[in-house]
Chain A
Amino acid sequence: MDRFKAVFFEEATTLINELERVSLLLHNNPSDSSIIEQIFRIMHTLKGNSTMFGFYRIGDFTHHFETLYDYIREGKMSVTDNVLNITFASVDHLRVLLTDVELENSVHKINHENLIRGLIEVLNGTSGEESIKNNSSDHKIENKVSDSPTYWVKFVPKKGLVRKGTNVLFLLDDLSQLGATYTVSNTERLPDFKKLDPADIYIYWEIYVSGTVTENSIRDVFMFVEEDCELEIRKISETNLLDQDGFSAIARDVSLSIDEKISKFGGLVTNSSSKNRMKEVRSKIEKANEKSIVTSKDNSISSIRVASEKLDELMSLVSELVTTQARLNLVSEQIASSELVSISENIEKITRQLRDNTFSICLIPIENLLVRFQRLVRDLSTQLNKDVVFVSEGADTELDKNIIENLADPLMHIFRNSLDHGIESGEERVKKGKPAQGKILLKAFYSGNSVIIQIRDDGKGIDPEMIRQKAISKGLITADQNLDRRQIFDLIFLPGFSTAEKVSEVSGRGVGMDVVKRQITEIRGEVEVESVINEGTTINIKLPLTLSIIDGLLVKINATHFVIPLGNVDKCFEANHEEFVDKINDLIILDGEQVPFIYLRDEFDIKENCPQLHQVVVVKQDDRRVALSVDTIIGEYQAVLKPLGRLYKNVDVISGATILGNGEVALVVDPNRIIKEYIFNQINNEVLQ
């Protein structure tokens, strides 16, 4: 059963997420009957499933909720703000219920009761008489049962019963399972043979049942056909009449009415037997033995659900394979057997395909995050009394599931900021000649090997001069420092910048944009702000498609191997040592073009064994190109990324490590970071000069 419970929880979570998503749609279209129907259906499924698995609290709760939407869809109520509020509160509470199904936490319990009370009030408020009936079905205690009473059952099927898939003989057979039976068939309704329709029933039956039966257990047999037949049930004796001599003669006598029969039966001696029960038990055992366990299943499957740990495991195995493959490559080259080299190349090709396939399996659309944002926008805009609409574009853009998971927090923070500080109040907006309703747009799209996510609001924007002043006052920059627009906006992400003067309930919980930046950097992303006063602010986030493996260029400086992500590599050159040292400006001429360079031996503080001839890798980031000097370029390399660990979290020019075929550790450089640091240093140098 636990296996099913796991399925239940997973499914319930999906249903609740869906409920939230649909409720948000309802928020925008409160009279859309298809949405209301959908909510009702979700609640209905949730209720049925939870009670099936014995989660009665969830069942009870969803029952009330279902009733609410049942009223709404029948037009007895309309979707008011109150209904929406209680709907969203219920969504949250349902999530709580999944983690605390028995409501052991008293806060959850109080909340639960309050919500149910709230639901009942909403329902009572609108349709006075029709208050909610409790779902818990009281099982009535059966009347006192005598040992082996005898019942008379008259069963007259209506025409058409067979057309509903009912087999009448099964019903009679079921009756005989209840105890000893004596059946009298009555054929008086049989028409002339020519008029007979073989699909109809003309016979009716009188059945005498005796055993541990009750009227209810007999009704139970006929439960599916009650409307399709005439059914009469009477207890004719407290004892078993069937065993009595002379019983069948009376029973078979069609000339007698049942009342007449009863009085005749009364003359028969009373005595009961328990052999019927034996018979019943025996038949049950036989039946149980007939069942054989079979596991064939012939339904075709177009998609399957897989536990995410399994995917992580697959990913790590593929990573291991990539590493091992690199080693094979190395060894096969050393052995210099052409046959081995060709096998190795073949395996490399397959490994690459397997890697790409595994990647794509781990990708999920950004859509998965959107509901949370819609919800946030709804809740916050209500709280802040602002009218804000949330729009998304490119929700089907896919990212590695681990990136998606880690993206939620920083994005939530950005949304909070936009709603709280970005978008103005309705009045203010109208005064500025903007529409009263504010807008937040989330746009996602692919750009090369990356995914770009933009969050754009049409709020009041950020004044760069204000950022500058604030940064100066906080001692982050000096007053004479000359920063361009982009550099000024980057200041927002410095620790210590956004410790807001007034802490607001919404966005100012002491979390600044530096945390947003750190969280995005941790998933190898980049973040930038662009803003125009009174037009709005755009946050640009650039993310890698995946976290675990990258295509890189393997290079070497002295004894250390480095990997430069291929996505950043523009061109490769050779240059003499002299071109880098003792230069006034850090520029090198490559292909007739002046390119700023970074002499990595200096940057990384590596002095030993300097070669005469250097190789140069030109990396690009957006519109900037920078040349990086290395000792030797070894070649392309698939790097399985390993974290350097928290001890190295301050070394940001190195984003991770990878294990080479020979077992050594190579370091993965982050060219973007190097470029940025280089620019900052240049500015500092200018300031110093």
Chain B
Amino acid sequence: MKKTILIADDSESVREVVSFTLINAGYNVLVGVDGEDAMKFLDGKEIHLVITDLHMPKKDGIALIKEIRGKAEYQYVPILFLTTESQVAKKDEAKAAGATGWIVKPFVPEKLISTIEKVIR
């Protein structure tokens, strides 16, 4: 069965690249343009992984991670966040909020897939 991945990012190009890569790798992809938008998908349907940006208007990544962890049915869903090398403090904050791991930008498609495969298979 195909796994479903939810992406939350306010950047269209990131959304495009990530969703294109994931679809080609055989995943189902749901796309939210910010944290608030992404929450709409977390309505009980099965989601195997969430990938979120940290900086977003209308509910940033940290808030999104906390909210997801607060929902019983998504308590254990792996969450990866997108980050850059320089954001050490943010990384810790996101981890503390309950994120599973991170994807460092910039990334190439292979790297994205291999990181995802660290947490779901």
Direct contact of A and B (CB under 8 A): yes
| A45–B26 CB distance below 8 A | no
Instruction: Give B116 Cβ to nearest chain A Cβ, in Å.
Output: 11
Given contacts A7-B13, A170-B118, A224-B119, contact A165 B76 (CB under 8 A): yes
| B119–A4 CB distance below 8 A | no
| B26–A291 CB distance below 8 A | yes
A355 within 8 A of B: no
A53 within 8 A of B: yes
Chain A residues with CB under 8 A of B102: 224
B35 within 8 A of A: no
| A224–B100 CB distance below 8 A | yes
| B13–A293 CB distance below 8 A | no
Given contacts A45-B10, A170-B121, contact A293 B28 (CB under 8 A): no
Chain B residues with CB under 8 A of A380: none
Instruction: Give A9 Cβ to nearest chain B Cβ, in Å.
Output: 9
| A291–B25 CB distance below 8 A | yes
Interface segment among A233-241, A296-304, A535-543, A587-595: the answer is A296-304
**How many B residues have CB within 8 A of the partner chain?**
46
* A11, A40, A164, A294, most chain B CB atoms within 10 A: A164
**Chain A interface secondary structure, helix, strand, loop or mixed?**
helix
Chain A residues with CB under 8 A of B13: 4, 7-8, 11, 49, 52-53
A288 to B104, CA, bound (A): 23
A560 within 8 A of B: no
Chain A residues with CB under 8 A of B2: 294
Binary CB contact string for chain B from 72 to 98 against chain A (1 if under 8 A, 0 otherwise): 000111110010111000001001001
Chain B residues with CB under 8 A of A299: 29-32
| B57–A49 CB distance below 8 A | no
Interface range for A: 35 or more
B105 within 8 A of A: yes
Instruction: Give B4 Cβ to nearest chain A Cβ, in Å.
Output: 9
Chain B residues with CB under 8 A of A173: 121
Per a CB cutoff under 8 Å, which of A4, A7, A163, A296 touches B75? A163
A8 to B99, CA, bound (A): 28
| B100–A298 CB distance below 8 A | no
| B84–A48 CB distance below 8 A | yes
Per a CB cutoff under 8 Å, which of A51, A162, A174, A294 touches B23? A294
Chain A residues with CB under 8 A of B17: 4, 52
B55 to chain A: closest residue by CB: A41
A163 to B74, CA, bound (A): 10
A45 to B105, CA, bound (A): 10
Closest 3 CB pairs of A and B: A224-B101, A165-B78, A165-B100
A-B contact pairs, 7 of them (CB 8 A): A11-B11, A163-B76, A165-B100, A224-B102, A227-B95, A292-B26, A294-B2
Q: Which residues of A contact B (CB under 8 A)?
A: 4, 7-8, 10-11, 40-41, 44-45, 47-49, 51-54, 59, 63, 133, 135, 137, 162-167, 170, 173-174, 221, 223-224, 227-228, 290-299
